[in-house]
Amino acid sequence: MRSRRNLFSALVAAILLLVATVQPGHAEYGDVLARYVIVAHDPIADKTTTLARAIMEGTDVACPAFHQLDSDGVALGALNSTTRINPDEEAFPVTVCEAVIPAGARASVDGLPLPTLIAEPEHLVIIGDSGCFGGDAQDCQKAWPFPGIASHAAERKPDLVIHVGDWNYRGTPSTKVDGEATYNSCLPRPGRPWVNTTSGDTWQTWWQDVFQPAATLMISAPWVVLRGNHELCSRAGRGWFYLLDPHSVLLDPYRALPVCNALTVRTEAYALDIGHIRLVVMDSANACDDADFEDVASLAYQARYYARQFDHVAALARGSAKPVWLLVHHPVWSATHYTSEPGIVSLNATLQRALKQSLASSLPPSVSLVLSGHVHEFQAITFDHDRPPQLIVGNSGVALDSNLLDNPYSVEVDGEPATGLALSARTGADSFGYLDVTLAANGVMTGKLHGFQPDGRATGRVVAVCSLPVGWNGLCRLGP
Ligand SMILES: [Fe+2]
């Protein structure tokens, strides 16, 4: 009897071990490797919609069935679905399938439920810069908090998740190849070849940095997704356009999907109506940070392009009766004093110049917030006049900067006095986190920054508290 029990125990242990060690790309893992919902703009109906996606193992597989469900969860009928264009079957041995979910409807894929975009989302989770460098720069086992942050956020059952960009660090750890600079938003000097680091842009790195740690959060709520400079076509752009980009032939069959077919591939700004607020999403992946960039003509060229994007942003914002949040990966304004720099670094040079050159010359009054990532810190900045507050949530995973500025700080940013808060590695051991936001019916926002240790453990401390409209003590203040 004892030997039978031992045999049974050994069998169970073997099965558990097998389950624990299965890697993506192996048949044992199952057919649907990930399922998620992306919030998108329908350019024909000019309305906000959602795209259901499923990532399937293998490159020659049929899509699973997408169904609309009734209120009891019973399948009503199959949704039209298609496959996205695989950029490189060797690097991405998976098939991405998608379907449009009718407004407000519940849906499933392969019999598994998908999150629904509700009419008035009140509980938002904001995360950014979530990946892990790896190598000597960051220990992805012991010093990468994103898995813990994503699990904690999922337990809060949000209505919507916003990711402000820079997803895949593991596949894009460096901006150099054999001493040559990778294209990383700043155009190379004329005659100088640009190099790329696309060899790390694979399903494996996307799985490790995004889809594995965020699996539960991805089935908790629809996601608004921004593209960062780690998702440039010289870096992890192929994966971005395959896995996360919110364009689809199902929404616009008259235009080709954006793909990495050139050094700079840019997409147009679009608006999302999310209950009490409007989100205007701007693709800033190619906006060079450096004001003293060596090629003046290239910086001017980029600034002219983004000036037109700001014109478009202004038009989308002016058409809204609701408060507008501008979502743009690179902060239009930030302030960081690095130990390696003599003065304050204020990003982003291209966007600051472009905004001055745009027809609007400033953001419309309806823009109540600029929300960004990119800087590996949490920052909240307010100006005395003429500019909306700037929030930066760049502290959800990648190793943090060390900002020498005091809290709160008062400095000049882009020619204007600014007051801000900056939480970085220097501030404390729990400066990682995500912003947990509550939206009221009038667009009033309150947010709590939950603190996390580098190993992903929640400290239970609210590190900062934020509110919109901006109160007497700024956009955010240090928490209790
Ligand atoms: Fe970035």
Q: Are residues 153 and 21 part of one domain?
A: no
- Ligand 1 centre to CA of 61 (Å) is 34
Report residue 24's pLDDT band, with 50, 70 and 90 as the boundaries: very low
- Ligand 1 centre to CA of 330 (Å) is 6
Answer whether 63's CB lies under 8 Å from 54's CB. yes
Q: Are residues 149 and 5 part of one domain?
A: no
| Residues 402-418, mean pLDDT to the nearest whole number | 94
- Ligand 1 centre to CA of 249 (Å) is 28
68 within a domain of the structure (yes/no): no
pLDDT higher than 50, residue 72:
yes
Indicate the number of domains in the chain: 2
- Ligand 1 centre to CA of 52 (Å) is 26
- Ligand 1 centre to CA of 334 (Å) is 13
pLDDT for 292: 62
- Please indicate whether residue 27 or residue 324 has the higher confidence score (pLDDT): 324
| Residues 355-364, mean pLDDT to the nearest whole number | 91
Answer whether 40's CB lies under 8 Å from 50's CB. yes
- Ligand 1 centre to CA of 227 (Å) is 9
> What's this model's pTM, rounded to 2 decimal places?
0.92
Q: Which of 36-45, 58-67, 224-233 has the lowest mean pLDDT?
A: 58-67
Q: Are residues 400 and 289 part of one domain?
A: yes
Q: Are residues 129 and 20 part of one domain?
A: no
pLDDT higher than 80, residue 194:
no
Q: Are residues 273 and 143 part of one domain?
A: yes
Q: Which of 10-24, 91-105, 187-201, 314-328 has the lowest mean pLDDT?
A: 10-24
pLDDT for 188: 77
Tens-digit pLDDT profile for residues 241-264: 999 999 999 999 999 999 999 989
Question: What tokens were used for 243?
Answer: 């896995």
- Ligand 1 centre to CA of 387 (Å) is 22
| Residues 370-376, mean pLDDT to the nearest whole number | 98
78 within a domain of the structure (yes/no): no
**Nearest by Cα to 324 from 294, 350, 363, 352:** 363
52 within a domain of the structure (yes/no): no
- Ligand 1 centre to CA of 169 (Å) is 10
pLDDT higher than 50, residue 29:
no
- Ligand 1 centre to CA of 251 (Å) is 28
Tens-digit pLDDT profile for residues 78-92: 999 999 999 999 999
Q: Are residues 296 and 197 part of one domain?
A: yes
Q: Which of 15-24, 382-391, 463-472 has the lowest mean pLDDT?
A: 15-24
419 within a domain of the structure (yes/no): yes
- Ligand 1 centre to CA of 379 (Å) is 14
- Ligand 1 centre to CA of 168 (Å) is 10
Q: Are residues 123 and 5 part of one domain?
A: no
- Ligand 1 centre to CA of 332 (Å) is 12
307 within a domain of the structure (yes/no): yes
Distance CA 78, CA 319 (A): 35
Report residue 7's pLDDT band, with 50, 70 and 90 as the boundaries: very low
Q: Are residues 21 and 158 part of one domain?
A: no
- Ligand 1 centre to CA of 471 (Å) is 29
Q: Are residues 141 and 18 part of one domain?
A: no
DSSP state of 195: B
Distance CA 28, CA 295 (A): 52
- Ligand 1 centre to CA of 261 (Å) is 21
- Ligand 1 centre to CA of 132 (Å) is 13
354 within a domain of the structure (yes/no): yes
Report residue 13's pLDDT band, with 50, 70 and 90 as the boundaries: very low
- Ligand 1 centre to CA of 407 (Å) is 23
Q: Which of 5-9, 79-83, 397-401 has the lowest mean pLDDT?
A: 5-9
- Exposure on the CB side of residue 130, measured as CA atoms within 13 A: 29
- Ligand 1 centre to CA of 102 (Å) is 33
The residue segments making up the domain with residue 6 are: 1-28
pLDDT higher than 60, residue 450:
yes
pLDDT higher than 90, residue 164:
yes
- Ligand 1 centre to CA of 289 (Å) is 10
pLDDT for 252: 96
CATH code, 301: 3.60.21.10
Report residue 22's pLDDT band, with 50, 70 and 90 as the boundaries: very low
pLDDT for 5: 47
Tens-digit pLDDT profile for residues 296-325: 788 889 999 999 999 999 999 998 999 999
Mean pLDDT across the chain, nearest whole number? Answer: 91
Question: What tokens were used for 337?
Answer: 């004093």
367 within a domain of the structure (yes/no): yes
- Please indicate whether residue 196 or residue 191 has the higher confidence score (pLDDT): 196
- Ligand 1 centre to CA of 62 (Å) is 35
Terminal Cα-to-Cα distance of the chain (whole angstroms): 59
104 within a domain of the structure (yes/no): no
Burial of 473 (0-12, 13-18, 19+ CB in 10 A): middle
